[in-house]
Amino acid sequence: MILKCASMHLIMTSTSLQTFTRDLAAMGHLINVAWFSTDVAYKQEQDDLNTIRRLSGKKFVKQDVLQAVRVQISTHIKNRSQGKIICCSPRMIGKDGKPLVSLPAKRHIILEIEPTMQEREIFKINANTEKDDLSGSDGKLLVMNKGFYIPH
């Protein structure tokens, strides 16, 4: 009885496009959105994962197409969570005129890392370089990737 009357506030700090589809479904389970416990939801989650995996594996698929599919998936998940999840942005203000979300000042942290052999190969591919030693003082390079994670 106590659990049925309880109210829980769960703070998530990422957007749905940065969060894996499976994580969004897990959040739906955690806050007890009934739809996420159905067989239909499970099948749709599996279909969504397969769609993303299939498109990610094809070399000719443009990032715009993959992004559009991710937006479509996150939108239908968001629609299932309507009224259960409050989405806030840093610019939203409350009744008192103060920001609803208080974010700390942005900090830049510079770290020196010693990449593994596998990471070195990934960096070489992404940086399009032939340098032998990426960790030495002459091995400074900028590795950029448009994806959320460096693929490995």
Does residue 5 lie within any of the structural domains? no
- Do 75 and 119 reside in the same domain of the chain? no
SS3 state of residue 99: strand
Does residue 100 lie within any of the structural domains? no
Backbone Cα Rg of the chain: 21
- Do 23 and 63 reside in the same domain of the chain? yes
Does residue 86 lie within any of the structural domains? no
- Do 74 and 116 reside in the same domain of the chain? no
Interval 68-82 mean pLDDT = 79
- Do 118 and 65 reside in the same domain of the chain? no
Please write the tens of the pLDDT for every residue from 112-151.
Answer: 777 788 877 877 776 655 545 445 444 455 555 555 444 4
Give the mean pLDDT of the chain.
Answer: 69
pTM of the entire predicted model: 0.43
| pLDDT of 5 strictly over 60 | no
Confidence of residue 29 (pLDDT cuts 50, 70, 90): confident
Does residue 43 lie within any of the structural domains? yes
| pLDDT confidence of residue 150 | 47
Q: How many domains does the chain have?
A: 2
Residue 99: strand pairing partners: 93
Does residue 41 lie within any of the structural domains? yes
> Which residue, 80, 102, 125, sits at the end of a domain?
80
| pLDDT confidence of residue 148 | 45
Does residue 27 lie within any of the structural domains? yes
Buried b (16+ CB within 10 A) or exposed e, 14-53: eebeebebeebbebbeeeebeebeeeebeebbeebeebbe
Q: What is the DSSP string of 20-73?
A: -HHHHHHHHHHTT-GGGGSHHHHHHHHHHHHHHHHHHH-TT--HHHHHHHHHHH
Determine the Cα–Cα distance for residues 78 and 24; give it in Å rounded to an integer.
9
- Do 117 and 73 reside in the same domain of the chain? no
- Do 17 and 67 reside in the same domain of the chain? yes
Residue 68 lies in domain:
13-80
SS3 state of residue 143: coil
